[in-house]
Amino acid sequence: MTGTLTTQTERLTIRPYQLTDFPSWLAQSSVPSSGQPDVTVFTEDWFEAWIAEQQQRAADDLGYCFGVFRTTDGVHLGTITFSTLARKSLAAATIGFSIDASFGYADEAVAAPLQYQRIEVRIPLDDSATVQLVRRLGMQDDGIRSVWFPDNHTWTEQRIFVRLNTEATPTETPPFDWTEVSRFRQEKQYAVAKDVVATYIRQAPDDPFVNYQMAWCHDSLGEESAAVPYYVKAISSGLIPPYLQQAYIGLGSTYRALGRYMEAEQTLTAGLVRFPNHPVLQTFYALTLHNLDRASESTELLIRTLLDTTADRDILTYERALRFYAEHLDDTWDS
């Protein structure tokens, strides 16, 4: 990793900060505990000094700080940092992030730069939302650890999640221009995007990410049957999270749309074995259960997924009752 690294996802640009980012950073940053920067402290001069500090840390290979920006309009969405770096035989790092969840990009932003063999996230015990996020990304619970904060002179317990990137295999994929493909998608030029990705397929026919992108292009054009073999190859060739979860969803939902319900059930089950708490996989699996005339299982799973993911206070008021009835859908009681 270098201090000049820029990562491009389907909707986001993740890169080191520049001085010109100050207005956007100030508008969206959640650094202070109040939720908004104190403009009397966080001035443009402060921001410039902070950037210089981050650049020096990167130059010394002590840590890296990246801003997360929406590609279409440059809006600042949050910050990702890497620290506690280890090199040589084991490439490992601790990742920290502050992403405005209201934009709906948190999963995509956090997953994009996970390039180390071991990534560790430390989460406060009461932060259930972040726990759900890292689980969706395929990170595994590694237990609870006491962490010392020298600034506050306190110990605190945090839950540790790790991702061991053992599935990632070196790829010889050329530096394809995914920014261009993303732009065509945003402009709804799906056929043009497919033509571009087709040239990449010819250059790297076995690359899992290229196959995943081709499957997505076919799906966007309503070419479900054509998408299937690309999804299958992407998964079998070693696609890594978060794209692996998305490929399971894409393939399972495509099988379902084609009326191939047993294959949909098998695919989504395989996805849930790998990522058991992924709400989208759970939802598509529930829809497939409906098509297989397993209505009670389908409804129970939908109710449980809703309760596990909703923030609606009215629904959560009835959580205990809904969880009970989800398990007794066909039961009645004589008062």
Look up residue 104 and give its DSSP letter: S
d(CA 165, CA 119): 8
Residue 41 sits at the vertex; the CA angle it makes with 37 and 42, to the nearest 5 degrees, is 55
Tell me what pLDDT residue 30 has: 46
d(CA 55, CA 163): 27
Tell me what pLDDT residue 224 has: 93
Cβ neighbour number for residue 138 with a 10 Å cutoff: 22
In this prediction, residue 293 has a pLDDT band, given cuts at 50, 70 and 90, of very high
Q: What is the mean pLDDT of residues 282-287?
A: 94
Report the DSSP pairing between strands 154-164 and 12-15: unpaired
Amino acid identity, residue 29?
S
DSSP class per residue in 268-280: HHHHHHH-TT-HH
In this prediction, residue 85 has a pLDDT band, given cuts at 50, 70 and 90, of low
pLDDT greater than 60 at residue 116: no
Q: What is the pLDDT of residues 183-218, one digit of tens each?
A: 888 888 999 999 999 999 998 888 888 999 999 999
Tell me what pLDDT residue 32 has: 42
Residue 47 sits at the vertex; the CA angle it makes with 120 and 29, to the nearest 5 degrees, is 55
Q: What is the pLDDT of residues 11-49, one digit of tens each?
A: 888 888 888 888 888 887 644 444 444 545 678 888 888
Q: What is the mean pLDDT of residues 89-108?
A: 66
How high does pLDDT run on average in the chain?
79
Look up residue 30 and give its DSSP letter: -
Q: What is the pLDDT of residues 224-276, one digit of tens each?
A: 999 999 999 999 988 877 788 889 999 999 999 999 999 999 999 999 988 88
DSSP class per residue in 184-239: HHHTT-HHHHHHHHHHHHHH-TT-HHHHHHHHHHHHHTT-HHHHHHHHHHHHHTT-
Tell me what pLDDT residue 179 has: 76
Per DSSP (E only), the strands in 43-192 are: 64-70, 76-86, 92-99, 118-124, 140-149, 154-164
**Cβ contacts of residue 283 below 8 Å, gap of 6+?**
302, 305
Residue 130 sits at the vertex; the CA angle it makes with 126 and 134, to the nearest 5 degrees, is 130
CA distances from 296 to 89, 291, 302, 324 (A): 50, 12, 10, 13
Per DSSP (E only), the strands in 6-75 are: 7-8, 12-15, 64-70
